[in-house]
Amino acid sequence: MKPISYLAAPLWAVLLASGAKSFRANPLLGSAWLNRHGLHMARVRLAGHMAKKRRARLAAFVDADDIADYARDGFVLRHNFLPPALFDEIRRDLESHPLRSWERREGATVTRRASLDRPDVDGRPALTAFLDDKRLFDLMRYVAGCGGEPLTHVQTVIAEPDPSRPDPQNTLHMDTFHSTAKAWLYLQDVGPEDGPLLYVPGSHLITPGRLEWEHDLSMRAARDPDPEIAAGSFRIDRDTVARLGYREPLAMTVPANTLVVADTHGFHARCASARPTCRSEIYASLRRNPFLPVTGMHLHTMPGIRGKLSTRQAQIDGLLERFGIRGPWKDVPAKRLVDPPSI
């Protein structure tokens, strides 16, 4: 740990009651002794309990079919999510007109995110209609088990097959120790060769075996050579998935205009691409403090922030960069869907 990290020491205990997940960055979260005595398990159990209570309150806003699918699988998949005319108009718009964009590289994969902040979609009626449609966002709140405002982008994943530069997203993993929601509305057909999302159905369910597996890993996670595990995003292999009693991972090969909303406490990955691929989707994510008793009061809904999340995030990244803390996302020129990456 860097000496400067000790400046944050008073925060370590406070962060136990937050969504903080890094075993390496927080010596309390990473303590083998505390985790042997149940710290990580207690956080998983309490977060799961609170999510269940909040989810019950959010159920009134989603369809019974969605509730049943989520309960069984941990994700909801809906074909033809948008009216076809609106979907075509959105795609035409994104292919012809650029949006403010940021890119990051992980291995041989470049991910681009383009802003859907309200000022950026001003005068673009199809994108505005999409953002005004509450169905996706209500479903995300239910799956995440929290209220609040998802962060929404147009995302393009440009992947080159290159085993010498592995993409950490290709390994089955859970994002963190509690329910969070990610959503993909696919703008093109996704075939088996297009790096589809892989999800282990039912792996959002915290079985005794799963809890035991997390408990075991939590005692050594801080020193794990895999930085993703040390950061709290546990990796798992297929044999262990089967041993824990979960079903076979399912590849989401779907036609365009399919929506997938998944709880990413469940195990998931991006299938490695066997050939160069370029896949675009409207992508949204929602993650909040998992211990909150309420569904309201989200920072993202405050005046000056609501509808401007990408702008505010870019401003924060810019500020951090002035203090030498570089995030993974790089500013790039405004891009259309079909434009090549800049990094």
Residues near Fe ion (CB under 5 A), total: 1
**Structure tokens of 229?**
């595990």
Determine the interface stretch with Fe ion among 86-94, 109-117, 134-142, 171-179 (rule: CB under 5 A).
171-179
Rounded to a whole number of angstroms, the minimum distance from the CB of residue 98 to Fe ion is: 28
User: How is residue 167 written in tokens?
Assistant: 């993409």
Q: Is 263 in the site for Fe ion (CB under 5 A)?
A: no
Distances from the Cα of 85 to the Cα of 88, 251, 329, angstroms: 5, 27, 33
Sheet of strand 99-106: strand arrangement: 75-78, 259-263, 181-186, 277-286, 151-159, 109-115, 99-106, 330-335
CB 198 within 8 A of CB 249: yes
Show the site string, 28-57: x = touches Fe ion by CB under 5 A, - = not: ------------------------------
State which residue, 175 or 194, has the beta carbon closest to Fe ion. 175
The DSSP result for 291-340, as a single string, is T-S-S---GGGSTTTTT-HHHHHHHHHHHHHHTT---S-EEEEEE-TTPP
Nearer to Fe ion, 23 or 130 (CB): 23
Q: Is 142 or 234 the residue whose CB approaches Fe ion more closely? A: 234
Q: Indicate the residue whose CB is closest to Fe ion.
A: 175
Element (H, E) at 129: helix 125-132
Among 175, 214, 263, 281, binds Fe ion (CB under 5 A): 175
In whole angstroms, how close is the CB of 269 to Fe ion at the nearest point? 7
Smaller CB distance to Fe ion: residue 175 or 281? 175
Q: Which stretch binds Fe ion (CB under 5 A): 115-123, 142-150, 173-181, 253-261?
A: 173-181
Which CB atom, from 133 or from 228, has the smaller least distance to Fe ion? 228
Provide the 10 A C-beta neighbour count for residue 166.
14
Nearer to Fe ion, 182 or 308 (CB): 182
**Contact positions vs Fe ion (CB under 5 A):** 175
